[in-house]
Amino acid sequence: MKQFYSFVRKEFKHIFRDKQTMLILLVMPLVLIGLFGYALSMEVRSTRVAVVDMQQSQESRRLVQRVDANAYFSVTEYLQSPAAVESLLRKGRADLALVIRTRNDVRQGKAELQILTDGSEPNLAQTRVQYLQQIVGLTASPTAAQPAVIVKMLFNPQSRSAYNFVPGVIGLILLLICAMMTSISIVREKERGTMEILLASPLPPLYVIVAKLLPYLVVSSVNVGTILLLSYYVLDVPIAGSIWVFCALTLLYIIVALALGLFISTVVRSQLAAMLLSLLMIVPAIYLSGMVFPVESMPEAAARVSYIIPTRWYIDGARKLLIQGVDPTHLSIHFLVLAVEAVVLLAVSVKLFKTRLQ
Amino acid sequence: MIQISHLRKTYNKGRTVALEDVTLHIPAGEIFGLIGPDGAGKTTLFRLLATLLLPDSGKAQVNGLDVVRDYRQIRRCIGYMPGRFSLYQDLTVEENLQFFASVFGTTLAENYHLIADVYRMLEPFKHRLAGKLSGGMKQKLALSCALIHAPKVLFLDEPTTGVDPVSRKELWELLHHLNRTYGITMVVSTPYRDEVLQCHRIALMEAGRIVAVGPAADVLPEEERVQRTVPFVPPGEEVEGAIVAEGLTKQFGTFVACDHITFRVHRGEIFGFLGANGAGKTTAMKMLCGLSQPSNGWARVAGYDVAKEYEQVKQHIGYMSQQFALYDDLTVAENFRLFGGIYGMNRRQIKEQFQRWMQRLGMEHEAHKQVGALPLGWKQKLAFAVSIFHRPSIVFLDEPTGGVDAQTRRQFWQLIYEAAEEGITIFVTTHYMDEAAYCDRVSIMVDGQIRALDTPPRLMEQFGAADMYGVFFALARTAQRS
């Protein structure tokens, strides 16, 4: 046990003495939270609205005022006819147009309200439309022939993107730290020749493995804590569900990521190769995890691949727990998939971890 | 202590034979040398004995234990020092020792008597990071780490490569002491002839086979010497020297790395620039190559001032070092084309020169192979060819033969002589004292200053030494800083 203890201590020293590692560990969570929280917001801000008010009624004017008064929208153009809308959108002088038709048109079966928007940025367009629908839905004219659709965003009424990305950032950072940095730290010993001495010593290989993984487990747990505190107090992200179930889910996910790092370290020989292979695994994980693009909107094949990606299960589970606050029983499939992946990856890499050189 | 019979080991699914029918018996208490050129199979044999590799066939026993079946017990009773500095560079001296002690389930205090002699030398630096130690210190620390669990056998794979002569001598004194006092059996490989002669018995290896076993004096072939076919005659004082340095100084803060050195290298001369690790050789060389500005004094290289006209200096010199040689992932031809292009040679010149070199090196068949696939000795010869490919007037060689076997080193010096006879001035650093004797003149640096400068025979006379090694040691012993 003393062997093991001193090995773990050595690993912590490696981490604390390497400035680059420390920088990644300490600064990366802050940078990512900062980036997603403020700079890369998916939220609708300062949308320029062109209005075509053909009705010119009291209600319609009130509706336009209401839109203009909203912090996210500002009415910049008033047009006479819907024909001018398209060229305005094309020139980029407005992001969205709201057309209010006359009562006469409405009686002929046309919709009272029409929203036109620039669809070249689909995500943005969708969010804008959704939000605008919410505003106008509440003031829809009672005289309208068609009932207005009432949209209500549950759990996240303001479409705050922070709710979406916080679980994603945690999933990403854990993958980077656990998979990439662990694999690099193991391969570094191979590259520098110290692994040769460790193998030729009576140290049990399992000690080497566990001692290599443990410090990164600690470090990544600290990071998860930091991110949660930051998002709770700075970004006002709620923690709706049980924090303990969340911790359990996170721990399981960390173990999967560590096992992945261990696996990578058994198949490569240089630190550079370890880094490239980790990135090769992390990039699809980002795109297929549902962090950026929803799994539901993926093509069938990609969606199927996403089922084996642990990050997908983690992010989905974390969202459900943090934002929706679902009962843990709904997450049994998430726990199951992650647990199976952890066991399989660990078994394979422990088997591949050589007690001799090639 | 060690019994090996008909051992065979292959790589690449049997395509490369590393060891073939190796049979050897090493009794307890012996210092046994494994001698042979690069690729002879020495490292493979070490790794098999250290239970890091599995043999294809044959048997090997260490301390009566089978290397395949009883590997766990063997790992408890051996100490292994692989070729490279296998220490944790970011841990201190003390932390490294403590870590390796605990890996073997022991403590620093328990076996302190074993490492006491080495540790006394390391003690002043015990809080220094291992990565910041000199080559000699690193190897002493690595030896301490290998000794900490009181092993019965020590496997030392080229323990003195990259170590200066003084540290080499100290390291071997330690080995003898450990062997005499504690009866530790040692298997050592080394490219240095003087170290081979200190082994009780040696095995000569070649292409995976053992060709001879016996006392070093009987088995080791007579040393061949290379000689200049035309003796060097220095030109008169009126000809400007290829390198002239006057009070050249480099200071880092309060530390004077290079302290007012003054010397002159004649055109066409082979000038040996010697000194222990940390004596200031590299600093001086960087200034002469125009890579570093002198703090004081001046130097002219190929007629240009190193402080002001460093661009011209770089155009007129060639440079080769152990660390940077060629691009491993380019072929031989591509490397030559690249470096020829860098120095502004045109395609026709490159092609002609390249063919001439391939003929001269006898490597026509390797021209389109990747450099990484070639043995170290060949790489070094190619690197030398590249460094004088653009026909510079001076070439700087920084430990060009480090880690290369004796035979390749002689071939390398043959190339140096040929280049010198074509009129290229050679400025070379080396840790091999037999190579020092090959130089026309030699300077020896101690603590940043040049303490001796003359032809090798006159230096030996002046210091009353039998060889250059004696001269070097007499001077290096006076060093104050480490």
Residues of A with CB under 8 A from a CB of B: 2-3, 5-7, 10, 13-14, 17-18, 192-194, 196-203, 356-357
- In the three-class reduction of DSSP (H, G, I as helix; E, B as strand; rest coil), residue B459 is classed as helix
Angstroms from B357 CA to nearest CA on chain A:
34
- Chain A hits for B100, CB-CB cut-off 8 Å, are 197, 201
Residue range B261-270: average pLDDT?
Answer: 92
For A276: left if phi > 0, alpha if psi spans -120 to 50, otherwise beta; the answer is alpha
Within 10 angstroms of residue A4's Cβ, the number of other Cβ atoms is 17
Band the pLDDT of A116: cuts 50, 70, 90: confident
- A135 and A257 inside one domain: no
- A7 and A78 inside one domain: no
Nearest to A193 among B53, B72, B86 (CB): B86
- Chain B hits for A192, CB-CB cut-off 8 Å, are 84, 86, 88-89
Per-residue confidence (pLDDT) for residue B11, from 0 to 100: 87
Checking if the pLDDT of B357 tops 70, the result is yes
Q: What is the CATH number of the domain that holds A149?
A: 3.40.1710.10
Closest residue by Cα to residue B99 from B90, B110, B111, B91 = B91
Nearest to B103 among A14, A196, A198 (CB): A198
- A24 and A110 inside one domain: no
- A69 and A6 inside one domain: no
Contact A10 B90 (CB under 8 A): no
Per-residue confidence (pLDDT) for residue A142, from 0 to 100: 47
Nearest to A357 among B47, B90, B145 (CB): B47
Beta carbons of B102 and B127 less than 8 angstroms apart: no
Last residue in a domain, options A113, A137, A154: A154
Is residue A41 assigned to a domain? no
Checking if the pLDDT of B154 tops 90, the result is yes
**What are the helix (H) ranges across A234-327?**
243-267, 271-288, 300-306, 310-319
Band the pLDDT of B235: cuts 50, 70, 90: confident
Band the pLDDT of A335: cuts 50, 70, 90: very high
How many residues in total does chain A contain? 358
Per-residue confidence (pLDDT) for residue B27, from 0 to 100: 93
Is residue A309 assigned to a domain? yes
- A97 and A177 inside one domain: no
Beta carbons of B411 and B375 less than 8 angstroms apart: no
Beta carbons of B475 and B451 less than 8 angstroms apart: yes
Residue found by looking up tokens 């630190």 in the block = A271
**CB < 8 Å from A in window 102-121 of B:** 102-105
Torsions phi, psi for B245 (to 5 deg): -120, 140
Contact A193 B104 (CB under 8 A): no
Last residue in a domain, options A106, A133, A154: A154
Is residue A252 assigned to a domain? yes
CA-CA distance, A245 to A317, in Å (whole number)?
A: 10
Residue range B162-184: average pLDDT?
Answer: 89
Per-residue confidence (pLDDT) for residue A39, from 0 to 100: 59
Helix axes A19-34, A2-17, angle to 10 degrees: 70
B82 and A CB contact within 8 Å: yes
Tens of pLDDT, residue by residue over B383-394, are 999 999 888 999
Angstroms from B102 CA to nearest CA on chain A:
5
- A51 and A112 inside one domain: yes
B189 and A CB contact within 8 Å: no
- Domains of chain B as residue ranges with CATH: 2-219 (3.40.50.300), 243-316+392-476 (3.40.50.300)
Checking if the pLDDT of A250 tops 90, the result is yes
- Chain A hits for B99, CB-CB cut-off 8 Å, are 6-7, 10
Question: When comparing pLDDT for A63 and B223, which is higher?
Answer: A63
Contact B99 A201 (CB under 8 A): no
Per-residue confidence (pLDDT) for residue A152, from 0 to 100: 61
Contact A7 B100 (CB under 8 A): no
Beta strands in B95-218 (DSSP E): 153-157, 185-189, 201-206, 209-214
- A97 and A150 inside one domain: yes
Is residue A238 assigned to a domain? yes
CA-CA distance, B279 to B290, in Å (whole number)?
A: 20
Tens of pLDDT, residue by residue over A208-238, are 889 999 999 998 898 889 888 888 888 778 8
Is residue A336 assigned to a domain? yes
Exposure class string for B449-478: b at 16+ Cβ within 10 A, else e: bbbbbeebeebbeebebeebbebbbbbbee
ipTM of the complex: 0.71
Angstroms from A213 CA to nearest CA on chain B:
17
Domain that holds residue A334: 162-357
Is residue A170 assigned to a domain? yes
pTM of the predicted structure, to 2 decimals:
0.76
Beta carbons of A235 and A166 less than 8 angstroms apart: yes
- In the three-class reduction of DSSP (H, G, I as helix; E, B as strand; rest coil), residue A20 is classed as helix
One-character DSSP codes across A163-229: HHHHHHHHHHHHIIIIIIIHHHHHHHHHHHTHHHHHHTSS--HHHHHHHHHHHHHHHHHHHHHHHHH
Residue found by looking up tokens 């939000």 in the block = A131
Beta carbons of B463 and B451 less than 8 angstroms apart: no
Angstroms from A348 CA to nearest CA on chain B:
21
- A26 and A55 inside one domain: no
- A117 and A226 inside one domain: no
One-character DSSP codes across A311-358: HHHHHHHHHIIIII---GGGGHHHHHHHHHHHHHHHHHHHHHS-SS--
Tens of pLDDT, residue by residue over A170-204, are 888 888 888 888 999 999 888 888 888 888 888 88
CA-CA distance, B225 to B222, in Å (whole number)?
A: 9
Burial of A307 (0-12, 13-18, 19+ CB in 10 A): exposed
Angstroms from A7 CA to nearest CA on chain B:
7
Beta carbons of A166 and A237 less than 8 angstroms apart: yes
Per-residue confidence (pLDDT) for residue B176, from 0 to 100: 94
Which chain B residue has its CA at the smallest distance from A14's CA? B90
CA-CA distance, A195 to A102, in Å (whole number)?
A: 80
- Chain A hits for B52, CB-CB cut-off 8 Å, are 196, 199-200, 356-357
Which one-letter amino acid corresponds to residue B320? M
B68 and A CB contact within 8 Å: no
Per-residue confidence (pLDDT) for residue B250, from 0 to 100: 92
Beta carbons of B2 and B187 less than 8 angstroms apart: yes
Which one-letter amino acid corresponds to residue A86? E
Beta carbons of B460 and B467 less than 8 angstroms apart: yes
Per-residue confidence (pLDDT) for residue A20, from 0 to 100: 82
Last residue in a domain, options A119, A154, A189: A154
Q: What angle (nearest 5°) sits at the alpha carbon of residue A153, between those of residues A151 and A159?
A: 120
Contact B88 A194 (CB under 8 A): yes
Tens of pLDDT, residue by residue over A282-325, are 888 888 887 777 777 778 888 888 888 899 899 889 988 888 88
- Chain B hits for A18, CB-CB cut-off 8 Å, are 90
Mean confidence (pLDDT) of chain B: 88
CA-CA distance, B222 to A180, in Å (whole number)?
A: 54
- Chain A hits for B80, CB-CB cut-off 8 Å, are 196-197, 200
Residue range B96-107: average pLDDT?
Answer: 88
Angstroms from B39 CA to nearest CA on chain A:
17
Closest residue by Cα to residue B74 from B87, B60, B57, B84 = B60
Burial of B221 (0-12, 13-18, 19+ CB in 10 A): exposed
CA-CA distance, B121 to B266, in Å (whole number)?
A: 40
Which chain B residue has its CA at the smallest distance from A355's CA? B52
- A197 and A300 inside one domain: yes
Closest residue by Cα to residue A252 from A167, A326, A334 = A334
Q: Percentage of chain B surpassing pLDDT 70?
A: 99
- Chain B hits for A13, CB-CB cut-off 8 Å, are 90-91, 95
Band the pLDDT of B324: cuts 50, 70, 90: low
Contact B99 A7 (CB under 8 A): yes
CA-CA distance, A271 to A250, in Å (whole number)?
A: 27
- A11 and A109 inside one domain: no
Angstroms from B86 CA to nearest CA on chain A:
5
Within 10 angstroms of residue A330's Cβ, the number of other Cβ atoms is 13
**What are the helix (H) ranges across B19-149?**
42-49, 71-77, 93-103, 112-122, 135-147
Is residue A42 assigned to a domain? no
Least confident interval from A163-177, B209-223, B263-277, B422-436: A163-177
Per-residue confidence (pLDDT) for residue B396, from 0 to 100: 94
How many residues in total does chain B contain? 482
B46 and A CB contact within 8 Å: no
Contact B90 A18 (CB under 8 A): yes
Torsions phi, psi for B147 (to 5 deg): -95, -15
Which chain B residue has its CA at the smallest distance from A208's CA? B103
Torsions phi, psi for B83 (to 5 deg): -55, -45
Which of A201, A208, A212, A356 is the best residue to mutate to test the B interface, defined by the most B CB atoms within 10 Å of its own CB?
Answer: A201
Angstroms from B32 CA to nearest CA on chain A:
20
**Number of structural domains in chain A:** 3
Checking if the pLDDT of B58 tops 60, the result is yes
- A210 and A131 inside one domain: no
Residue range B414-420: average pLDDT?
Answer: 92
Closest residue by Cα to residue A96 from A51, A55, A139 = A51
Checking if the pLDDT of A149 tops 60, the result is no
Per-residue confidence (pLDDT) for residue A206, from 0 to 100: 86
Angstroms from B340 CA to nearest CA on chain A:
29
Which chain A residue has its CA at the smallest distance from B80's CA? A197
Q: Percentage of chain A surpassing pLDDT 90?
A: 16
Determine the number of helices (DSSP H) and then strands (DSSP E) in chain A: 15, 4
